[in-house]
């Protein structure tokens, strides 16, 4: 058996581009530090709205194939080489926005059997054996059905992977030490949007988004980890640019298909929701700056909250 790197991070996302927007700096940092960074993307985003006029002919499977190429280019910018599609390319289709008829497609992620979908992820978990899992909260950050389902799949798979009675054919059981949800502290969002108002005249976007448009904004006291990705800001921006069908980048901002400017965060924030550290492991008091801090075998660093 090949020896695994000492630190192993697993991220579960709904569509290509979510990884770069939410965790691009974190992924680039840990990849540069030699950690194993594994990304599992649940759909190819076949129902995403396309920004460039020259690419708007892409729809359905053709758009999914193109976005898969964008994902490959983006993760290359981040230095991440272990990229998986849940169940294989095209196994689960994009479900579209909540409340649309697309949600009823029997092949979309929203309609997936939870344990079956989680089983695909269990196989990855038992192979990679991550200490840390990053995914969305139970609302998927902003209520998109694929984000909600990605959350459910990730949390269910974390439970199943640790159970020796579940699918022994998928490998030895593995308990993930720590689970984080993607977050943005409200004070940080407020400051960033205030600065955006000052910068807007010099940007190619006519209007600004609102704080409510940013997924995962919560009260500051819920933040457990702050990963400073300043040194990897260029990699994150390049990864986001690689998703040209979905994102227009004009640092220090970007816009999605709604053409509303929002801040590009190069420090990324997390809420620890399960595992070591939740009840206060020695050395992990306050807001820590390393997702592995305090996990058995790792020291890590911390900062006062």
Residues annotated within the binding site for Zn(2+) are 15, 18, 147
SS (H, E, C) the chain: CCCCCCCEEEEEECCCCHHHHHHHHHHHHHHHCCCEEEEEECCCCCCCCCCCHHHCCCCHHHHHHHHHHHHHHHHHHHCCCEEEECCCCCCCECCCCCCCHHHHCCCEHHHCCHHHHHHHHHHHHHHHCCCEEEECCCCCCCCCHHHHHHHHHHHHHHHHHCCCCCCHHHCCCCCCCEEEEEEEEHHHHHHHHHHHHHHHHHCCCCEECCHHHCCCEECHHHCCEEEECHHHHHHHHHHHHHCCCCCEEECCEEECCCCEEEECCCEEEEEEEEECCCCCCCCCCCEECCCCCCCCCCCCCEECC
List the binding residues.
Answer: 15, 18, 147
């Amino acid at each position: 058996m090949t020896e695994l790197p000492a630190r192993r991070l697993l991220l579960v996302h709904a569509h290509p581009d979510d990884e770069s927007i939410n965790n691009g700096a974190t992924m680039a940092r840990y990849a540069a530090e030699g950690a194993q960074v594994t990304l599992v993307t649940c759909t190819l985003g076949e129902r995403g709205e396309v920004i460039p006029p020259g690419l708007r002919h892409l729809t359905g499977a053709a758009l999914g194939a193109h976005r898969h190429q964008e994902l490959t280019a983006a993760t290359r910018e981040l230095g991440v080489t272990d990229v998986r599609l849940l169940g294989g390319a095209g196994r689960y289709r994009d479900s579209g926005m909540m409340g649309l008829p697309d949600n009823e497609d029997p092949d979309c992620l929203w309609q997936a059997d939870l344990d079956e979908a989680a089983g695909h992820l269990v196989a990855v978990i038992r192979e990679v054996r991550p200490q840390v899992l990053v995914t969305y909260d139970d609302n998927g950050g902003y209520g998109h059905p694929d984000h909600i389902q990605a959350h459910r799949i990730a949390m269910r798979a974390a439970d199943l992977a640790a159970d020796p009675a579940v699918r022994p054919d998928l490998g030895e059981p593995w308990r993930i030490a720590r689970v984080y949800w993607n977050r943005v502290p409200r004070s940080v969002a407020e400051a960033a949007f205030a600065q955006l108002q000052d910068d807007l005249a010099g940007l190619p976007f006519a209007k600004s988004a609102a704080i409510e448009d940013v997924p995962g904004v919560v009260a500051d006291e819920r933040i457990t980890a702050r990963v400073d990705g300043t040194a990897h800001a260029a990699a994150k921006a390049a990864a986001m640019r690689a998703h040209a069908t979905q994102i227009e980048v004009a640092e220090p901002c970007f816009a999605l298909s709604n053409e509303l400017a929002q801040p590009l965060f190069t420090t990324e924030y997390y809420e620890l929701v399960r595992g070591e550290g939740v009840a206060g492991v020695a050395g992990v008091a306050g807001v820590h700056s390393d997702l592995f801090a305090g996990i058995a075998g790792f020291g890590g660093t911390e900062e006062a909250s």
